Amino acid sequence: MDEDTLQFYRDNARAYAGREIARHTRLTRFLALLPSGARILELGCGAGADSAEMLARGFDACPTDGSPEMADEASRRLGRPVETLLFHDLDQVEAYDGVWANACLLHVPRPELAQVLTLIWRALKPAGYFYASYKAGDVDGRDTLDRYYNYPSPDWLRANYADAGDWSSLSIETGEVRGFDNAWASMLFVVARKGP
């Protein structure tokens, strides 16, 4: 991961933890795809809001974040340890029914995304589901807060997912969200199912 971007989140962990984040229908729809009590790896959990929702609904959430400071904030919120994990250090094999990566893989450098997606594919059980969201675009760059983004197009994402493994289904929806910088951004929301 880009060191400047990781440092931004380390420096702003408390501010992120203090944000009010509305429950979004994408998490609800994702959870509906999974069996009751499913084991879910959350990458880039931030302050732990999504993992808190998963736990409240009876899922076995495994929250992680690349920033130790952010993992500490999530640990306080969840009342349990949260692992510090960089994407390229994911080494589990067929361990999860689902992987939830909301607004985090968008920081993976473009040349490294297929490799990270391969690690996620490997960590999923057969027929497991994977959700990720990205800021849409055509080339990588930095935002006004100097955070790195890979800014993919749908076609570029499809090619990288195909390079990463066999998916029995892959859908990409579009939408807009307001980020920490208070700016609206066009987003791509991907749901993929690992092939059997």
| pLDDT tens track for 52-80 | 999 999 999 999 999 999 999 999 999 99
Residues pairing with 134 in the sheet: 188
Mean pLDDT, rounded, of the chain = 93
Q: Name the pTM for this structure.
A: 0.90
Question: Which domain does 134 fall in, by range?
Answer: 3-194
Q: Domain holding 48: CATH number?
A: 3.40.50.150
| pLDDT tens track for 3-33 | 888 888 888 777 766 665 555 789 999 999 9
Residues contacting residue 127 through CB under 8 Å, at least 6 positions apart: 168, 193, 194, 195, 196
Separation CA 62–CA 67 (nearest Å): 15
Write down the pLDDT at residue 17: 66
What distances in angstroms separate CA 102 from CA 25, 50, 135, one per listed residue?
A: 13, 9, 11
Looking at the structure of the chain, the number of domains it has is 1
| pLDDT tens track for 90-141 | 999 999 999 999 999 999 999 999 999 999 999 999 999 999 999 999 999 9
